[in-house]
Amino acid sequence: MYAVKTAFLAVLTAALVASLVLLYVHRFDRPMLYYYGASPEVVHGRAVAFLNPFRDRHDEGLAKWLIGDLRTAQCEKIVRDRLQAEPAQICPVLRSNSGATLIWLGPRQHDPRGDSRQLFYDLPEDKVRLLVYFGRDEWGWGIRTVSVLR
């Protein structure tokens, strides 16, 4: 009986290690492990999302930094000059929300026009979604613009 329990535990441990290795290997091309529910574009929709714990978090760090900067008095200048977006739509929403939760992390899209990626953040106090668009330009990979879905 003891040998059967030990063998079962060894098989279970091996399966767990193999799963973690597969997650680590696919960390770049599969940032979302599981997503069930409304599309991220649906503002009032509910969904369950499981993010890959081994994903590349560089873009998330840049987006969090940007969100923090957009909650300051410099928001209008940053949105108008750097992001070429409309400050009247973005700045009031970010100032009135204390939290932003990542709900969707799209994989990098490779196309002839250039690489791109979208990150969706839920801003629960105003019930809106903040989209952060990444892409490649003359300075390299970075944030291109932001928009708000109501």
Q: What is the CATH number of the domain that holds 142?
A: 3.10.450
Residues 110 and 73 both lie in one domain: yes
What are the distances in angstroms from CA 138 to CA 87, 134, 142?
24, 13, 10
Residue 68 reports pLDDT greater than 90: yes
Residues 137 and 99 both lie in one domain: yes
Q: Is the alpha carbon torsion for 38, 41, 46, 47 positive or negative?
A: positive
What type of residue sits at position 94?
L
Residues 23 and 36 both lie in one domain: no
Q: What is the pLDDT of residue 88?
A: 94
Mean pLDDT computed over 52-65: 89
Question: At 69, is the secondary structure helix, strand, or coil?
Answer: helix
The total domain count for the chain is 2
Residues 49 and 78 both lie in one domain: yes
Q: What percent of the chain lies above the pLDDT cut of 90? A: 45
Residue 22 reports pLDDT greater than 80: no
Mean pLDDT computed over 89-108: 89
Mean pLDDT computed over 89-94: 94
Instruction: Report CA Rg, the chain.
Output: 20
Q: What is the pLDDT of residue 113?
A: 65
Mean pLDDT computed over 113-125: 86
Residue 86 reports pLDDT greater than 80: yes
Structural domain containing residue 119: 31-149
Query: Who wins on pLDDT, 123 or 22?
Result: 123
Residues 78 and 10 both lie in one domain: no
Q: What is the pLDDT of residue 130?
A: 94
Residues 3 and 75 both lie in one domain: no
Q: What is the pLDDT of residue 21?
A: 79
